[in-house]
Structure 1
Amino acid sequence: MTQRGRGGARPGQGPGARRRREDEESRVPAAPRIDLTAARARVRAVIEPVVIAAGYDLEDVSIARAGRRHVVRVLVDTDGGISLDDVAVVSREMSAALDAAEEGGAEVLAGEYQLEVGSPGVDRPLTLPRHWRRNRGRLVAVNGLTGRIVDVDDTGVVLDVDGTPRELRFDELGAGKVQIEFKRLDEADFGDDEDEDDDEGEGEE
């Protein structure tokens, strides 16, 4: 049977208990203050060779304080995309490389940290030639234009803008943004037309 204190509060949940928990939380050390820009560079130097050796591109590294630890977020990608299993494997390899660097005497990141590895979403800006190449066929907005990527080479891209091809060089392109497309209702295939035909044919002699 659960015992309850005065006012329906469970044991350990009264005002005194709350004060004790707040005191305990206040004694939890915060993540040490570090130069996040320098730490990001150190982390990148350790993990980038691991990512390249695995056949991927290191798209971004960011570090943020979160309570008593730092959160290291890493984005990796490759042509054709990267699976969750691939992310898990390269994440373990990155973690091992960071541990080895620390054990070797290099202070990569002071204090505790949490490593989060993922792949870029469609909201990531297209800033490098490989980003444009990997989004061939998608609708994008850039430089005040909205068009579909129909070709990408070493110098630039070709967009289909309302049926007209527009060639744009990388050196004149800003950051592109992939546009989310929804299939038109009149183009949607609900998959039940055949069933309706079958139903209409039942009972006919």
Structure 2
Amino acid sequence: MTTAEQIRPDLEQALAPTGLVLEDVTVTPAGHRRVVKVLVDRDLAAEPDLVTERTDPLTLDEVADATRLVSDALDASDSLGELAYTLEVSSPGVGRLLTEPRHYRRNVGRLVEVHLADREVTGRLTAASSAQATLEVPATKKDPARTETLAYAEVTKAVVQVEFARPDESKES
């Protein structure tokens, strides 16, 4: 069992009352220390199966609170031993692959690029459930605008696209 697997239950228990979930944990050596990277995100278990509204990202205060809880849990655990460590707690970044239905549900409203076995589709994620995602695909020279519903089983890769100015943001002059 890896160190990350050993500490995972303690971290999940520490985060449980906060409404946050442990998305991932990695422990890597860095000289005479270790770097413990923890990804946390909002728990959507209480949400309905079909999500059609944008989920608010974590605030800096929520990440700071999670950092304190994770640090306390690691200090109380003997899984890391006496060796010093550096703790990094954050939320998943934009470039993280969408691999679980909960990842799609968290990113409703965002522009996503989805790779299927035979093609790629880029569009705004308008709805996501436990089985499928719905994208609004803009018109191109060859194709009119359309709505596509894709089963997760068909997806080979999906990632959120970086947008510097979203179309729904009001422009200030």
Which one has more relative contact order, counting CA pairs under 8 Å at least 6 apart? 2
Runs of 4 or more, structure 1, over 6 Å off, are none
Shift of 1:125: 1.1
Match of 1:136 in 2: 108
Deviations 1:61-111 (A, max 9, x none): 111111210010001011422111111112111121222222xxxxx1231
Q: Which one-letter code corresponds to 2:87 in the other structure?
A: L
Return the offset for 1:182. 4.3
Other structure's SS at 1:109 match: coil
Q: Distance in 1 between matches of 2:80 and 2:172?
A: 53
Name the CA distance, whole Å, in 2 between partners of 1:188 and 1:117.
Answer: 32
TM-score for the superposition, normalised by structure 1: 0.66
Residues 56-95 of structure 1: pairs in structure 2 closer than 5 A: 56-78=20-42, 79-95=55-71
Higher strand share: 2
Q: CA deviation at 1:38?
A: 0.8
Aligned pairs (5 A) from 1:21-170: 38-78=2-42, 79-102=55-78, 108-110=79-81, 111-143=83-115, 144-162=120-138, 163-170=145-152
1:171 corresponds in structure 2 to 153
Identity of aligned residues (%): 42
- The amino acid that maps onto 1:175 is K
- Structure 1 portions without partners, runs of 5+: 1-36, 103-107, 192-205
Aligned residues: 148
Larger % of helix: which? 1
Q: Distance in 2 between matches of 1:49 and 1:174?
A: 32
CA separation in 1, counterparts of 2:170 and 2:69? 43
Give the structure 2 partner of residue 5 of structure 1: none
RMSD: 2.1
- Bigger Rg, which one: 1
Which consecutive residues of structure 2, in runs of 5 or more, have no partner in the other structure? Answer: 43-54, 139-144
Q: How far is the alpha carbon of 1:189 from its aligned partner?
A: 3.8
* Partner SS, residue 45 of structure 1: helix
How much has 1:138 moved relative to structure 2?
1.3
TM-score (norm 2): 0.77
- With over 3 angstroms needed to count, the CA separation of the structure-2 counterparts of 1:190 and 1:84, relative to structure 1, is closer
